[in-house]
Structure 1
């Protein structure tokens, strides 16, 4: 499979799986003598073999690669970086916020662990929050070998002349997420900004200084930014290529507002803390997928607070939310 237009070709590298994401997608982008890899899949044999196969059937090889651009730091987007660079010493471009995460900087990771410990206490999560905070802290040592060894080059927002692409910061799903926009062809390489079959999570994270980010507010702003673009094809990090980008974005924006109203309703029924709202709405899923559920609830509460729809007051160290009339 390839998409070709006006001298530029995209070779999608799509690795199917049985998860709700359906597939892990990354992309080879070729024009004249340049060949860039946008994202790098998982660090497993399935992704490695599909990448090599895609190169081979298109008369290409790892030695033809010019560089790698990562849309964000998540493990399913960066997995093959070190393995590729062992074969071909090419530059790896990332958002500046990604460097500490990809290098698993110990000082930053300790700040991050402190952040979640404090956050879950303030949101009234009790034992479930303490358990997740311990998991985050223990992962510092457990996952230390996942740090990328490759030299990383921070990339600025703006025009990437070697590829005639615009690099655009798209925070929300991750604080370091970027998109690559080909205005001439209406192509958007969006990482996990927009996925066709499921909504992307705006995952709660601290910034590089350990401060709280209003992730859902950022995610919504990033989606709204895309409405100004001519989008003939969106190349997502998972699932099928998207040809109805603007209508899908409008649907995602409506879903954010619809869910926000449900959380307003929960507050009206007397569920005052983020944990109470989460447990009342998600039931057992609150415990089974704690971190994702809390990201969803905290993100929507931040969004509602940013709109002036709710306010919060700290009572004995825990934020209590009320409806603003």
Structure 2
């Protein structure tokens, strides 16, 4: 991916291969004045580290030239190198307040999160597949403890300015996701808010009190607000950069409507639990991508219910949905 320069600011993309249909994992070095800002930090692997080192060396920079790290959200493919960098070079790390219990792997929060998903999968009637995912989450509490960020994290949120950026909150894909908007250059570093070749998943998560975040509703609102930004280049977390964000957002919103109507039709036809809807709609991907599939279905069910298109009844510990 080529270097981008505008009005004395230069973006050096770091692009490494990625799995799961994401094509690439992208993070960015931004040279502005005396600062060299790293926006997101790739995966915790050799490929991301090598990519960072190559871009630094090729452009006559050194690791110690990085002046700060800005994180769009807490997902591991966006924060993977933070520990490796800050162990060698102590720099400030900035992220949304909701990122902090996740990035610091706060034990009380993570246990609450496991309880949240255990209840969600039980009420969606997910059976063995739900229990299997809950056991995986319980095992990850200890297994992934080494992913905890050691550096102090400075909280930032929507409405603030940081360096040349306005910060806007774009929850949906993750509750803590933010975008960094440079109005003067019409650039936006948006994490996974928009991906050119695939739809970004609106992932269901609990809030800090353990209540379900209506992720798809949040994502729709975020996309609508994002559509109105005066930017002409979006630096995405995966795949190609985006120079037609408005058209892409319209296509994504239309696709959501189509999928919601498919789900409503299944419910009209008598497919009444979240798990049954997921199995019918995502038969090929249900087992392999169970958490993402259930997030997708749960998000659409929440949105349809909020719109008054479906209702639900609680019976024997399970939610049963019906068309209105």
TM-score by length of 1: 0.97
Q: Unpaired runs of 5+ in structure 2? A: none
Contact 1:66–1:90 under 8 Å retained in 2: yes
Residue 95 of structure 1: aligned partner: 96
Residue 196 of structure 1: aligned partner: 196
Contact 1:95–1:155 under 8 Å retained in 2: yes
Name the SS of the counterpart of 1:248 in structure 2. helix
Provide the rounded CA distance (Å) in 1 between the counterparts of 2:284 and 2:88.
46
Contact 1:231–1:246 under 8 Å retained in 2: no
Check 1:293–1:19 CA distance in 2 against 1; reply closer, same or farther (3 A cut): closer
- Deviations along 1:12-55, whole A, 9 cap, x unmatched? 11112454100000001111101110000011111111111111
Residue 214 of structure 1: aligned partner: 214
Contact 1:117–1:130 under 8 Å retained in 2: yes
- Deviations along 1:117-137, whole A, 9 cap, x unmatched? 000011111111111111111
- Deviations along 1:84-130, whole A, 9 cap, x unmatched? 11222110001100111111111001100000000001111111111
Provide the rounded CA distance (Å) in 1 between the counterparts of 2:250 and 2:157.
28
Residue 280 of structure 1: aligned partner: 280
For the pair 1:323 / 2:323, whether they are aligned, the reply is yes
For the pair 1:166 / 2:166, whether they are aligned, the reply is yes
| Residue 313 (structure 1) shift | 1.2
Name the SS of the counterpart of 2:221 in structure 1. helix
Which residues of 2 match residues 8-47 of structure 1 at below 5 A? 8-17=9-18, 19-47=20-48
Contact 1:24–1:237 under 8 Å retained in 2: yes
| Residue 308 (structure 1) shift | 1.1
Provide the rounded CA distance (Å) in 1 between the counterparts of 2:142 and 2:40.
26
Provide the rounded CA distance (Å) in 2 between the counterparts of 1:287 and 1:84.
36
Provide the rounded CA distance (Å) in 1 between the counterparts of 2:64 and 2:289.
41
Provide the rounded CA distance (Å) in 2 between the counterparts of 1:72 and 1:238.
14
Check 1:297–1:19 CA distance in 2 against 1; reply closer, same or farther (3 A cut): closer
Residue 68 of structure 2: aligned partner: 67
Residue 223 of structure 2: aligned partner: 223
- Deviations along 1:161-185, whole A, 9 cap, x unmatched? 4x22111111111111110011122
Which residues of 2 match residues 64-213 of structure 1 at below 5 A? 64-161=65-162, 163-213=163-213
| Residue 76 (structure 1) shift | 0.5
Provide the rounded CA distance (Å) in 2 between the counterparts of 1:287 and 1:79.
26
Q: How many residues align?
A: 323
Residue 7 of structure 1: aligned partner: 8
Provide the rounded CA distance (Å) in 2 between the counterparts of 1:185 and 1:245.
16
Name the SS of the counterpart of 1:210 in structure 2. coil
Provide the rounded CA distance (Å) in 2 between the counterparts of 1:55 and 1:47.
12
- Deviations along 1:212-260, whole A, 9 cap, x unmatched? 1000111111110111111210100000111111000000000000000
Check 1:284–1:16 CA distance in 2 against 1; reply closer, same or farther (3 A cut): closer
Provide the rounded CA distance (Å) in 2 between the counterparts of 1:290 and 1:17.
20
Check 1:86–1:111 CA distance in 2 against 1; reply closer, same or farther (3 A cut): same
Name the SS of the counterpart of 2:101 in structure 1. helix
Provide the rounded CA distance (Å) in 2 between the counterparts of 1:135 and 1:253.
33
Provide the rounded CA distance (Å) in 1 between the counterparts of 2:277 and 2:18.
33
Provide the rounded CA distance (Å) in 2 between the counterparts of 1:6 and 1:251.
32
Contact 1:4–1:10 under 8 Å retained in 2: yes
